[in-house]
Structure 1
Amino acid sequence: MKTHVASLTRRQFGFGMLAGSLAACSASSNAGATPNSGALPPDLLPVPNASYDAWVASFRDRARSRGITDSVLNAGFRNTGFLPGVVTRDRNQTEFSRTLEDYLSIAASDERIAKGRAAFARHSNTLAAVESRYGVDPKIVTAIWGLESFYGERRGNVPVISATSTLAFDGRRGRFFEQQLMAALRILQNGDISADRLTGSWAGAMGHTQFIPTSYQSFAVDFTGDGRRDIWSDDPADSLASTAAYLLRNGWTRGRAWGREAAAGEGGRIIQPQAGGPRFAVTSNFNVIKRYNNSDAYAIGVGHLADRIGGAGPLQTAFPPDANGLTKDDRIALQTRLTARGFDTQGADGVIGPNSKAAIAAFQTSQGLPATGVPSQALLQALR
């Protein structure tokens, strides 16, 4: 779901920092995404809406005037409709204020690293061919794949025409989503995908590495040579190559690292996104990764995950205790002890998300304490 118009980056598309980029976040942080298969939740199924129907009728006239054929319009809008859950999600996006430590706990979790190493090995021939053509580090491409769709496990199964037309009709970002809708119809008209397979996230991001329709038009490539730029296929080749093509066209320099954890006293371009935490020496390729998502945390997440996929170890510099005086080890211990006492945090990753807060509140209630849901050293001691 890459740069789509002018100089816009994907995060200007409007996703919260974690909700979009970490499509398969840890259970305890409770920020997952729609898997590829299975039934959609009821609020992501079409419901009657006369105003939406009138808007679609008007849009069809505009689309025809721009060269979209009636057969494509009929196929594209068949079995689609207004999705109330898309509007709800769009209006209630949370701009997470996660620390870099929390972000990396999710972006480079043990599970994501292990799956990344397996995916890197499984698709080594494809990734080597992609690197040969585009010059982009295959570990970086794999890491982006891991952050965007958990290596293809969570590509989304919401009809893109329904999602983009609902958001265009809703009007909050109507012009932008009408552009996405028009681009989606052009994808159908080009024959890259059939209407029934044109699916993605609730906001129209598609495929293994989550391109939005206008990004697809600008950057997607047919790497397999079958005549279609098929980023929806179980075979990720076109998606991985499209991601590399995107990075190359945005200035990737072959053979240059993204950066690294900086040594004490090291000069150069140094950033420290979290006070008291690790410092990073970054390069121009770090900026190119930010073209994919304009966030230092995202770019560090991609770079660090890529390094871990390649066999590197964890960061050497410890992060400071959080605002509640807890280290990551403390938070993991808290989650582990809560779950052992029957207050399930849905995982122990050290990230205090909605599930962990609910478990804390439930424990506090069981002890006759105010149900704040806030972790603390006193709570940790009470669970010993």
Structure 2
Amino acid sequence: MTRTVAEHLRIVSAALPTAAGLGAEEIDVRSALHRITASDVVSPVDLPVFRNSQMDGFAVRAADVASVPVRMPVYGIVAAGDAPRDLPDGTTIKIMTGAPVPNGADCIVPVEDTVLGGATVTINRGRSAGDFVREPGSDVRLGELLVPAGQKLGIQHIAALAAAGIRTVRVRRRVHAAVITTGAELVPAGTPLGPGQIFDSNSTALATGILTNEAEVIAVKHCVDDPRQFLAMLRSVIKRVDVVFTSGGVSMGDFEVVREALTPLGGWFDHVGMQPGGPQGLTILDGVPVISFPGNPVSTLISFQIFARPALRALAGLPPVESETATLCSDVVSPRDKRQYLRGRMTDAGVEVVSGPGSHLIAAMARADVLIEIPAEVTGLKAGSGVQVWPL
């Protein structure tokens, strides 16, 4: 029986592992951008680690500059990276930003409030205790939460982890995926085309879609129309991945290699009420979902966007892609009982259809930035009608 798009999406999503099932891994902080923390990260140190100066200036006791202007001897200089020094009574020490505040000093007079003259400095503005002094732990204290579990790590989080001296962080493991394209007619880009041959775009498109949704591509393979070869190829990758995506070989004709190989193993192959992308397949092999899309390039790409993208984004901790309402720029027709996904481009006037419905029109799809969704019960819409569009 034909499934609806919603039914097949629910079944495919349920077949993929949960985030908890993916486990966690420890990785270098420098490689952790956009990864999701698997547990709370607490600071192993106080930040700042020691009392240091917020400004270039002069370290003093506030009581010594309560009445200004005042002329004071300069007892040396302390720079960032120096060891702390003691401040003799009645003197000041020149200090650089980030340098340790001398013992006995309780504030910093910025250099712009002073006039240096040889071995002395004139202080023209008084300061209160604590001014321009960064105290240890004023940013975060030892043992306090630095980054919570479930946080997608941005550059600001990476910076905080590095500042606390953290070299590795425990993150949620990404989905590991493999791609297998099928069809004796397919050859890699750069290969001279023989009679009846076309370039294999689906392997590149699916691998790119996986990476875009922050999963990892473990293997990309191609198989001719031989069920035994396909099954051997599938078994060679399935132990290393969480999901396999295939393209081609799922219809009801001859040489449907994926359907022929996987139906005896419990695979489901039938139609989903959509256009393009009607033929679909799903098999659980050795506990790993094998999600099978039709082979026409547009069908493959739209199938991935509708059925794989939502689940992969959820597992990666990414926000769901939301549809929005747009106004049609022209009339459209649609087959009864099939949810149609037309390729569209957003303009100031609304959304315009950029190609026909053919599932082979991949070059025309390159002009699209949205999919226009026409519900299954609708057979036509006039220009000016509102439609749901999904960003590509």
TM class by shorter-chain length? under 0.3
| Greater RCO structure (CA 8 Å; 6+ sep) | 1
Q: TM-score, normalised by structure 1?
A: 0.23
Q: Normalized per residue, which structure has more strand?
A: 2
Q: TM-score, normalised by structure 2?
A: 0.23
Q: Normalized per residue, which structure has more helix?
A: 1
